[in-house]
Amino acid sequence: MSHIVSYHVHGAIAEAVVDNPPVNATSASVRQGLAEAIRKAEADPEVRALVIRCAGKTFIAGADIKEFGKPMAEPQLPALLAMMDRATKPIVAALHGTVLGGGFEVALAAHYRVALPETRFGFPEVKLGIVPGAGGTQRTPRLAGLETTIKLTTEGGQIDVAKALASGLIDAIAEDGDLGLAALAYAEKLVVEGQGPRSAGTLPMPADDPALFEEARKALSRKMRGQSAPLKILDAIRLGYEMDFDAALLQEFALCRESIAGPQSKALRHMFAAEREVARIPGLPADTPTRLIERVGVIGLGAMGRGIVMAIVSAGLPVIAVGLDQEHVDAAMKAIGKMWSSSVAKGSMTQEAMDKRLALITTSDDMHDLAATQLVVEAVTEDMAVKKAVFATLGQVTQPDTILASNTSFLNIDMLAEASGRPEDVCGMHFFNPAHVMRLLENVRAAKTDRDVVATIMALGKRIGKLPVLSGVCDGFIVNRMLSKRSREAFFLVEEGASPAAVDRVLLSYGFPMGPFALGDLAGLDVQAAARKARAATATERELRADFVEQMVAEGRLGQKSGSGWYSYDENRKSGPNPQTDAMIAAHAERHGLKLREIGEEEILQRLLYAMVNEGAKLLSEGIAARADEIDVAMVNGLGWPSHSGGPMFWADQIGLDKVLAAIERFRAEQGDAYWTPAPLLVQYAGEGRGFTA
Ligand code: 3HC
Spacing of C-alpha 134 from chain mean position: 26
Q: Which of 27, 29, 31, 65 to mutate to test the pocket of ligand 1 (most atoms within 8 A of CB)?
A: 65
- Say how many Å lie between the CA of residue 128 and the centre of ligand 1: 11
Give the number of other CB atoms < 10 A from CB of residue 351.
Answer: 11
pLDDT in tens, 308-328: 999 999 999 999 999 999 999
Cα 150 from Cα 564, distance rounded (Å):
40
Q: Tell whether ligand 1 has an atom less than 6 A from the beta carbon of residue 62.
A: yes
Cα 163 from Cα 157, distance rounded (Å):
13
- Say how many Å lie between the CA of residue 279 and the centre of ligand 1: 15
Q: Which atom of ligand 1 is nearest to the CA of 102?
A: 50
For every residue of 273-315, DSSP letters joined together read: HHHHHTTS-TTS-TT------S-EEEE--SHHHHHHHHHHHHT
Indicate the pLDDT class of residue 565, thresholds 50, 70 and 90.
very high
With b for 16 or more beta-carbon neighbours within 10 A and e for fewer, the 65-102 pattern comes to beebeeeeeebbbbebbbbbbebebbbbbbbbbbbbbb
Kindly state whether residues 233 and 87 are assigned to the same domain: yes
Percent of the chain with pLDDT over 70: 100
Domain residues for 613? Answer: 601-688
Residue 356: inside a domain = yes
Q: Tell whether ligand 1 has an atom less than 6 A from the beta carbon of residue 156.
A: no
Residue 380 and residue 393 in contact, taking contact as beta carbons nearer than 8 Å: no
Kindly state whether residues 551 and 658 are assigned to the same domain: no
Q: Residues for the chain: how many in total?
A: 694
Parallel, antiparallel or unpaired: strands 98-100 and 158-160: unpaired
- Say how many Å lie between the CA of residue 60 and the centre of ligand 1: 10
- Say how many Å lie between the CA of residue 44 and the centre of ligand 1: 35
- Say how many Å lie between the CA of residue 393 and the centre of ligand 1: 45
Three-state DSSP class for residue 371? helix
- Say how many Å lie between the CA of residue 124 and the centre of ligand 1: 10
Predicted confidence at residue 72, as pLDDT, reads 87
Kindly state whether residues 362 and 454 are assigned to the same domain: yes
Question: Residue 9 pairs with which residues in a beta bridge?
Answer: 14
Angle, alpha carbons 322-327-331 (nearest 5°): 80
Residue 183 and residue 94 in contact, taking contact as beta carbons nearer than 8 Å: yes
- Say how many Å lie between the CA of residue 61 and the centre of ligand 1: 6
Burial of residue 211 (number of CB atoms within 10 Å: 0-12, 13-18, 19+): exposed
Q: Indicate if 105 belongs to the active site.
A: yes
Q: Tell whether ligand 1 has an atom less than 6 A from the beta carbon of residue 125.
A: yes
Q: Give the closest residue (by CA) to ligand 1 atom 21.
A: 22
Cα 528 from Cα 553, distance rounded (Å):
10
Q: Which atom of ligand 1 is nearest to the CA of 58?
A: 35
Residue 252 and residue 151 in contact, taking contact as beta carbons nearer than 8 Å: no
Cα 340 from Cα 372, distance rounded (Å):
26
Q: Tell whether ligand 1 has an atom less than 6 A from the beta carbon of residue 132.
A: yes
Residue 478 and residue 442 in contact, taking contact as beta carbons nearer than 8 Å: yes
Burial of residue 187 (number of CB atoms within 10 Å: 0-12, 13-18, 19+): buried
Q: Tell whether ligand 1 has an atom less than 6 A from the beta carbon of residue 690.
A: no
Angle, alpha carbons 122-124-126 (nearest 5°): 130
Q: Tell whether ligand 1 has an atom less than 6 A from the beta carbon of residue 236.
A: no
Kindly state whether residues 640 and 605 are assigned to the same domain: yes
pLDDT in tens, 232-270: 999 999 999 999 999 999 999 999 999 999 999 999 999
Residue-averaged pLDDT of the chain: 96
Q: Tell whether ligand 1 has an atom less than 6 A from the beta carbon of residue 105.
A: yes
Cβ neighbours of residue 685 closer than 8 Å, sequence gap 6 or more = 617, 657, 691, 692
Print the SS3 string covering 376-424. EEECCCCCHHHHHHHHHHHHHHCCCCCEEEECCCCCCHHHHHHHHCCHH
Indicate the pLDDT class of residue 410, thresholds 50, 70 and 90.
confident
For every residue of 459-519, DSSP letters joined together read: HHHHHTT-EEEEEESSTTHHHHHHHHHHHHHHHHHHHHT--HHHHHHHHHHHT-SS-HHHH
Predicted confidence at residue 17, as pLDDT, reads 98
Long-range contacts of 572-577 (CB under 8 A, 24+ apart): 575/518, 575/521, 577/501
The H or E element spanning position 94 is strand 91-95
Q: Which atom of ligand 1 is nearest to the CA of 103?
A: 50
Q: Tell whether ligand 1 has an atom less than 6 A from the beta carbon of residue 233.
A: no
Domain count for the chain, please give it: 4
Q: What share of the chain is helix, strand, coil (3-state, %, to 5)?
A: 55, 10, 35
Q: Tell whether ligand 1 has an atom less than 6 A from the beta carbon of residue 100.
A: yes
Long-range contacts of 515-520 (CB under 8 A, 24+ apart): 515/490, 516/486, 516/487, 516/490, 516/608, 517/490, 517/566, 517/567, 518/566, 518/567, 518/575, 520/487, 520/549, 520/559, 520/565, 520/566
Give the number of other CB atoms < 10 A from CB of residue 285.
Answer: 9
pLDDT in tens, 477-498: 999 999 999 999 999 999 999 9
Angle, alpha carbons 681-686-690 (nearest 5°): 95
Cα 391 from Cα 422, distance rounded (Å):
10
Kindly state whether residues 368 and 329 are assigned to the same domain: yes
Kindly state whether residues 462 and 486 are assigned to the same domain: no
Q: Indicate if 125 belongs to the active site.
A: yes
Residue 560: inside a domain = yes
Question: Residue 431 pairs with which residues in a beta bridge?
Answer: 441
Residue 281: inside a domain = no
Residue 379: inside a domain = yes
Kindly state whether residues 526 and 455 are assigned to the same domain: no
Q: Tell whether ligand 1 has an atom less than 6 A from the beta carbon of residue 23.
A: yes
Residue 274: inside a domain = no
Q: Indicate if 129 belongs to the active site.
A: no
Q: What is the pTM of this model?
A: 0.95
Residue 489 and residue 506 in contact, taking contact as beta carbons nearer than 8 Å: no
Kindly state whether residues 418 and 486 are assigned to the same domain: no
The H or E element spanning position 103 is helix 102-109
Residue 545: inside a domain = yes
- Say how many Å lie between the CA of residue 98 and the centre of ligand 1: 10
Does a cis peptide bond (omega within 30 degrees of 0) precede residue 434? yes
- Say how many Å lie between the CA of residue 275 and the centre of ligand 1: 11
Residue 179 and residue 96 in contact, taking contact as beta carbons nearer than 8 Å: yes
Give backbone dihedrals phi and psi of 569, rounded to 5 degrees, phi first: -130, 140
Indicate the pLDDT class of residue 2, thresholds 50, 70 and 90.
low
Amino acid at 388: K
Residue 672: CATH number of its domain: 1.10.1040.10
Predicted confidence at residue 69, as pLDDT, reads 86
Q: Indicate if 640 belongs to the active site.
A: no
Give residue 358's region: left, alpha or beta (phi > 0; psi -120 to 50): alpha
Residue 290: inside a domain = no
Q: Tell whether ligand 1 has an atom less than 6 A from the beta carbon of residue 122.
A: no
Q: Tell whether ligand 1 has an atom less than 6 A from the beta carbon of residue 129.
A: no
Q: How many CA atoms lie within 13 A of 138 on its CB side?
A: 32
Residue 107 and residue 81 in contact, taking contact as beta carbons nearer than 8 Å: no
Residue 412: CATH number of its domain: 3.40.50.720
- How far is residue 18 from each of residues 35, 96, 238, measured CA to CA in Å? 12, 12, 33
Kindly state whether residues 232 and 146 are assigned to the same domain: yes
Q: Which atom of ligand 1 is nearest to the CA of 272?
A: 13
Q: Which atom of ligand 1 is nearest to the CA of 273?
A: 13
Kindly state whether residues 585 and 669 are assigned to the same domain: no
Parallel, antiparallel or unpaired: strands 49-54 and 91-95: parallel
Domain termination residue (choose one: 471, 505, 527): 471
- Which listed residue (16, 37, 63, 379) is catalytic? 63
For CA atoms 681, 683, 685, 688, give the dihedral sign. Answer: negative
Helices and strands: H and E segment counts in the chain: 30, 19
Predicted confidence at residue 177, as pLDDT, reads 81
pLDDT at 3 over 90: no
Residue 122 and residue 169 in contact, taking contact as beta carbons nearer than 8 Å: no
Print the SS3 string covering 126-164. HHHCCCCCCCHHHHHHHHHCHHHHHHHHHHCCEEEHHHH
Q: Give the closest residue (by CA) to ligand 1 atom 28.
A: 23
Q: Tell whether ligand 1 has an atom less than 6 A from the beta carbon of residue 133.
A: yes
- Which listed residue (105, 155, 495, 630) is catalytic? 105
- Say how many Å lie between the CA of residue 231 and the centre of ligand 1: 23
Cα 171 from Cα 351, distance rounded (Å):
32
- Which listed residue (125, 418, 489, 603) is catalytic? 125
Residue 193: CATH number of its domain: 3.90.226.10
- Which listed residue (101, 102, 133, 520) is catalytic? 102
Q: 658, 674, 676, 657: which is closest to 666 by C-alpha? A: 676
Domain termination residue (choose one: 592, 617, 634): 592
Q: Provide the greatest CA pair distance for the chain.
A: 93
- Say how many Å lie between the CA of residue 272 and the centre of ligand 1: 9
Kindly state whether residues 237 and 193 are assigned to the same domain: yes
- Say how many Å lie between the CA of residue 23 and the centre of ligand 1: 6
Domain termination residue (choose one: 592, 623, 640): 592
Q: Which of 23, 70, 462 to mutate to test the pocket of ligand 1 (most atoms within 8 A of CB)?
A: 23
pLDDT at 1 over 80: no
Q: Tell whether ligand 1 has an atom less than 6 A from the beta carbon of residue 134.
A: yes
Kindly state whether residues 58 and 145 are assigned to the same domain: yes
Cα 624 from Cα 347, distance rounded (Å):
42
Q: Tell whether ligand 1 has an atom less than 6 A from the beta carbon of residue 565.
A: no
Residue 371: inside a domain = yes
Q: Tell whether ligand 1 has an atom less than 6 A from the beta carbon of residue 252.
A: no
Q: Give the closest residue (by CA) to ligand 1 atom 30.
A: 276
Residue 140 and residue 149 in contact, taking contact as beta carbons nearer than 8 Å: yes
Predicted confidence at residue 535, as pLDDT, reads 85
